């Protein structure tokens, strides 16, 4: 009997996860399939009950359900509980356990351009859900400091206050961060600024970078944002959002079937999908 896996969100038609995971099930000869389900916010509880009743082996959770799903799960991993968001659910003997692989996925993918964040000074741009997952994950890795720059300094400050893991952190406006850009070993752009179709925008000027700095932008449409292009031109090692997306999916797949999949295959698959995508 085929095992069911899924992704729930609203909207969901743009998701690249079904193609990525179904390819992996075929590649590893696993008798399973992965379906996208559009679930309206008011139907979330019923959807979780339905997936439980169907015996789903697990599922991914995307916008706008990552926070709201927590009360409907039986157990939530420590990191996901701290972040306050779940993107991966595993069914363990019928018990639904929530995890967050967004931050760990970013950290795992980051290793190709920055092997360790221990002792590094980091700037995160943005204070939304992705920034929260990345901030909480990096804070556990003994960085020298992690600062957050955001249009709303109060929101950045609240994110810092919420984190239970020790990290020397300051909240800055984007203008303040602009003047400090030369201090950071790693800069992580987590907002939608520069995403297609508004590709001419960028959140900060990255012309005065520290020698050897790494700069990441979790956007992958376009694959190289104006922000990343400027960083590369000024000597930085750069990374777009493909690695974070691929590794968060790989970590979810591993939790479901105990196989760490071929991430190069996953990356090629995602790039093929992006090549045919309009947005």
Catalytic (active-site) positions: 66
DSSP string of 56-87, one letter each residue: -SEEEE-TT-TTTTGGGSSEE-HHHHHHT--S
Euclidean distance between CA atoms 81 and 70, whole angstroms: 8
Contacts of 118 (CB under 8 A, 6+ apart): 141, 142, 143
Closest CA to 189 of 176, 166, 206: 206
Which DSSP helix (H) or strand (E) runs through 32? strand 32-38
Helices and strands per DSSP (H, E), number in the chain: 10, 12
DSSP 30: -
Euclidean distance between CA atoms 63 and 10, whole angstroms: 6
- Torsion sign, CA atoms 54, 61, 96, 269: positive
Which residues share a beta bridge with 9? Answer: 38
Which stretches of 12-142 are DSSP H helices?
A: 17-27, 44-53, 78-83, 102-110, 129-139
């Amino acid at each position: 009997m085929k095992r069911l896996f899924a992704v729930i969100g609203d909207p969901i038609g743009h998701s690249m996860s079904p193609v990525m995971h179904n390819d992996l099930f075929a590649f590893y000869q696993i008798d399973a399939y992965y379906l996208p389900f559009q679930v309206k916010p008011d139907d979330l509880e019923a959807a979780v009950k339905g997936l439980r009743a169907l015996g789903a082996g697990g599922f991914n959770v995307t916008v706008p359900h990552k926070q709201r799903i927590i009360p409907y799960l039986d157990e939530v991993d420590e990191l996901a509980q701290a972040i306050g968001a779940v993107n991966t659910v595993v069914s363990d003997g019928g018990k639904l356990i929530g995890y967050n692989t967004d931050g760990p996925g970013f950290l795992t993918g980051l290793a190709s351009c920055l092997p360790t964040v221990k002792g590094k000074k980091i700037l995160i741009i943005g204070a939304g859900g992705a920034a929260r997952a990345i901030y909480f994950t990096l804070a556990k890795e003994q960085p020298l400091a992690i600062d957050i720059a955001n249009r709303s300094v109060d929101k950045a400050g609240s994110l810092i206050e919420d984190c239970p893991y020790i990290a020397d952190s300051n909240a800055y406006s984007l203008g303040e961060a602009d003047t400090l850009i030369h201090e950071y070993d790693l800069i992580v752009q987590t907002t939608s600024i520069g995403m297609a179709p508004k590709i001419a925008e960028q959140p900060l000027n990255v012309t005065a970078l520290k020698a050897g700095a790494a700069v990441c932008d979790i956007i992958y449409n376009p694959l190289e944002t104006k922000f990343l292009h400027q960083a590369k031109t000024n000597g930085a090692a750069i990374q777009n959002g493909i690695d974070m997306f691929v590794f968060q999916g790989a970590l979810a797949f591993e939790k479901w079937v105990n196989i760490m999949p071929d991430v190069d295959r996953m990356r090629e698959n995602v790039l093929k999908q992006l090549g045919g995508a309009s947005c």
